[in-house]
Structure 1
Amino acid sequence: MKRIIPIVTAILAVILFVIFFPFGKAAISPESHSDVPSKTEQKGNSSNKLQIAAFGDIMMHTPQIKAGAIGANNYDFRSFFKEVKPYVSQADIAIGNFEMTLAGPSKPYSGFPQFNAPDQIVDALKDTGVDVVSTSNNHAMDTGVDGAIRTHKVVNERGIQTTGTSPSAEKRKPLIVEKNGIKVAFLAYTELTNGIPVPQDKPYLINLIGDGTGIAQDIAQAKKEGAELVCVSLHWGVEYQRNPNPSQKSIAEKVFKAGADVIFGSHPHVLQPMEKMNVDGKEKYIIYSMGNFVSNQKDRYTDEGIIVYVDLEKDPKTNQVKLKEFSYLPTFVHKYNANGKQQYAVIPTPKQEATNLPYPGLSASKWQSVWNDTVSHVSPGNAIPVYANPAQKQ
């Protein structure tokens, strides 16, 4: 009996140690993103809250296509988004600008000036947590009518919804996504199609900004179909200009007057400021350009982007949806060499101090430069805050 007591005591000690000091916890590194809730966890928190994450241009230049090649006619681009995935997948709805076409392998894969990417880029985005993409931009007609239609088909078939292009007049209607009891409309339009005209007999193919009349009609239709919040993606402005031009501001005013709540801008490939506006007594938010999410561009500022977070809440008493918080997370594209070729990683910068990530050439000075560039330019004076996830707020 005396021998049994020490054995039982030892077993109890081991059990208590496992309970209070679980294995592996002390080994969690800063880059594990353990404090970022998953999309499933986020959804489970409340049925009357919703978070939207929006980001800028998803581009596929030729070196990126080569980076994802894993054999003859096979590609995998998931590594591009490994670091940023937790910050995208945590949102209830994630949307980005899909700036390429998917014409298929019957045409050569190519980057600028006419983009034709492998279908597997959609799988990588889906794996990252992307739910919706805007397909209305200046490269939407790069591979002609057939390419635009196939892009719409492939993206939807692989599990991501599209907005901004349609294969037929019958299918052209506002995209309304319902999550957690809240209906959000996502509309998308482009200012130009790089001189490749949309056929006159197919005006439904690509949504154009024009004078804004069509946008106003679509907003009205979306609200008629039950949309409680309207997000409009606008592909506009001048490339590489860090501030919006008068045309952008004029269009934004029209779109807000028509009833949009949030405008997500893209096309300049560099960041432009964000603003909070009061239109007809209601708060509205705009980011004139979200910069590049991923690309091979190398000029100053073109490797920088942001993820914009829009947090909504429905009042159970009034049934009204309110925009509770608007924030952003700086990101940048890190390029490095591995396995004999250039690789890419979208790096989130949730704080000013650099985190040690295992990529060649990733320096604290580059991290600091991105942070300073973004925070000082996008929202001077911190009028709109840098995103703080729930764990950081506590």
Structure 2
Amino acid sequence: MIATILLGAGVIFWFTGKGSSVSDAQSEHKKVEQKDLTKEAVETLSKQANEILQLLASSGGSSEAEQKTNELIAQIDRYKMKDDAMGEYMKLLNSSLKAVDSYREENTDEKALGRVHPSYLSALAKVKEADPSLRLEEIDPYVWFYAAAANYEQGQRKDEQITISMVGDNSFGTYPEAPEHLQFDYVFEKNNGDNQYVYKNSLPWFNSDDYTVINAESAFTTETKAEEKMWRIKSHPKYAAFLPASGIEAANLANNHTMDYFEAGYRDTLKAFKEQNVAVFNEGMPHIEKIKNIETVFLGYDYRYRKSADSYLENIVRDVKKYKRKDNLVIVNMHWGIEYMETPAFYQTKFGHAALDAGADIIIGHHPHRLQSVEKYNGKYIIYSMGDYAFGADPTLKSRQTAIFRLTFAKEAGSVVMKGLRIVPTLENSDDSETENNYQPLPVFGEEAKEIVDELTRISTIIPNGVDEFDYFDPFLEKAE
């Protein structure tokens, strides 16, 4: 048998006899393909690694990015690695890429990247010291984390399950009284923002799920006539394009700012979302979506002590019973609670329990502008508040800690059941400031992630039925057993 390999512009032939095995041919193939590792190759491969990791992250671990990762790993494997600084760096770069790629497997070692990463950083420092003229790509730790997270989320996916990402309060405008340098429009333009600016760091999760939902707490309008109230929030209608550009499929409009600019502003809001093909839901306006094989009903309510509690709760219970079936999923979004309180008010618990007793599968809360307790009641979750996410009306970061809540459901024996709740610890801004918002949430790892998880655990365990442990992905930090 005669086989050929194309190498650059040349062609190499080799022969294998009838008795030669495939492994012999592959071994010979590797032998022929081996190249000397040059400075130029190291620079090129380092740059390619950075680009591919960023593609993995932004695409949510797409199959195209996976293919490019495997091609780069194979390409690096074809080089001879000497026992010098350059060879050691390339070995550890490739080991790190292989660790990232391993997360696509369901039963992966979550700490695979964390185990090799310190050695990679050490090798990087040594090779730069050995040859200061080397132009190596500085791969940000967050790029490694986001690429690993995107692959991890892909590895957790199952054909028979759906994953829905939920986040709290979002608006792309700031109340008029805020200083100009803190206004969303000013910050957005200063950072040369595009349609992915706000959710850039959220893409590994928003693009690796089946559906993403936000609470859009703003009118999307250019109207100027507004309610006479302390906080009036509006976003330019063009900013609705942020959502489809970032993998967001739906928005809750049941909140206390959608109507800040009256009916005219609300009509503009509906028009803006419709033009972007983003689904919306509100009181009396549910959204029903077939997500893979599961019909999912999104219900939204705005209750902040402004209505008769008993009659309003009766409406919620009636709606849940109307839409809930054994084989579908009902998610109730509640805009409720007391601002900046860490635990729910009594009525929230009453409402949440009643909605779950009526058949709702989960309660999702927002409005308090901070994380609140998470309760597990009769096997179902009440997330009392997810906190602010990309919230233009929080220019001074009154509460930076937030999270992406990942909900997984499946249909088993004709019934929809919840298979898991996982969180992504997140800070509301990405520029390290604790007093000025750049309106770009930052999912975090390491000690910062642990602080958020610890806080959510603390405020949850002080209420009855509070959740005492949260699942989250962190390849770097060893979690306490």
TM-score between the two structures when normalised by the length of structure 1: 0.74
**Does 1 or 2 have the higher relative contact order (CA < 8 Å, sep 6+)?**
1
Alpha-carbon distance between aligned partners in 1 of 2:148 and 2:235, rounded to the nearest angstrom: 34
Q: Which deviates the most, 182-191 or 252-261? A: 252-261
Secondary structure of the equivalent of 2:218?
A: coil
1:67 aligns with 2:187: yes
Aligned length: 345
Whichever residue aligns with residue 242 of structure 2, its letter is A
Number of the residue aligned with 1:307: 404
Shift of 1:98: 0.5
Shift of 1:81: 1.8
Shift of 1:374: 3.6
Number of the residue aligned with 1:30: 141
Task: Give unmatched runs, 5+ long, in structure 2.
Answer: 1-11, 15-28, 36-70, 80-89, 97-136, 176-182
CA gap of 1:173–1:337, structure 2 versus 1, over 3 A, is: closer
Alpha-carbon distance between aligned partners in 2 of 1:107 and 1:39, rounded to the nearest angstrom: 46
Q: Which deviates the most, 215-224 or 373-382? A: 373-382
1:190 aligns with 2:308: no
How does 1:131-280 map onto structure 2 within 5 Å?
131-164=249-282, 173-192=285-304, 211-223=312-324, 228-278=328-378
Alpha-carbon distance between aligned partners in 2 of 1:126 and 1:38, rounded to the nearest angstrom: 21
CA gap of 1:384–1:313, structure 2 versus 1, over 3 A, is: farther
Q: Which has the larger radius of gyration?
A: 2
Number of the residue aligned with 2:7: none
Task: Give unmatched runs, 5+ long, in structure 1.
Answer: 166-171, 198-207, 355-366
Whichever residue aligns with residue 253 of structure 1, its letter is H
More strand by share: 1
Whichever residue aligns with residue 168 of structure 2, its letter is G
Number of the residue aligned with 1:352: 446
Whichever residue aligns with residue 290 of structure 1, its letter is M
CA gap of 1:232–1:374, structure 2 versus 1, over 3 A, is: same
Number of the residue aligned with 1:363: none
Number of the residue aligned with 2:427: 332
Alpha-carbon distance between aligned partners in 2 of 1:308 and 1:261, rounded to the nearest angstrom: 15
Whichever residue aligns with residue 380 of structure 2, its letter is K
Alpha-carbon distance between aligned partners in 2 of 1:36 and 1:343, rounded to the nearest angstrom: 23
Alpha-carbon distance between aligned partners in 2 of 1:118 and 1:353, rounded to the nearest angstrom: 36
Q: Is the 8 A contact 1:313 1:323 kept in 2?
A: yes
**Cα RMSD between the aligned structures?**
4.1
Secondary structure of the equivalent of 1:353?
A: helix
Alpha-carbon distance between aligned partners in 2 of 1:298 and 1:378, rounded to the nearest angstrom: 27
Shift of 1:68: 2.0
Whichever residue aligns with residue 455 of structure 2, its letter is D
Q: Is the 8 A contact 2:165 2:406 kept in 1?
A: yes
Number of the residue aligned with 2:75: 18
TM-score between the two structures when normalised by the length of structure 2: 0.62
Q: Is the 8 A contact 1:48 1:182 kept in 2?
A: no
Number of the residue aligned with 2:224: 107
Whichever residue aligns with residue 387 of structure 1, its letter is Y
More helix by share: 2
CA gap of 1:99–1:209, structure 2 versus 1, over 3 A, is: farther
CA gap of 1:142–1:133, structure 2 versus 1, over 3 A, is: same
Whichever residue aligns with residue 256 of structure 2, its letter is N
Whichever residue aligns with residue 199 of structure 2, its letter is F
Residue deviations 1:56-84 (CA, integer Å, cap 9, x gap): 1013325112222379xx97453222112
Whichever residue aligns with residue 376 of structure 1, its letter is R
CA gap of 1:5–1:378, structure 2 versus 1, over 3 A, is: same
Number of the residue aligned with 2:381: 285
Secondary structure of the equivalent of 2:356?
A: helix
Q: Is the 8 A contact 2:394 2:437 kept in 1?
A: no
Number of the residue aligned with 2:167: 55
CA gap of 1:352–1:100, structure 2 versus 1, over 3 A, is: same
Whichever residue aligns with residue 284 of structure 1, its letter is K
The one of 235, 243, 247 equivalent to 1:125 is: 243
Q: Identity of paired residues, percent?
A: 23
Secondary structure of the equivalent of 2:242?
A: helix
Residue deviations 1:1-33 (CA, integer Å, cap 9, x gap): xxx899x99852249961736998567653121
Secondary structure of the equivalent of 1:94?
A: strand
Alpha-carbon distance between aligned partners in 1 of 2:233 and 2:397, rounded to the nearest angstrom: 22
Residue deviations 1:236-293 (CA, integer Å, cap 9, x gap): 1111111111111111122112211100011110111001111xxxx21111111101
Q: Which deviates the most, 323-332 or 290-299? A: 290-299
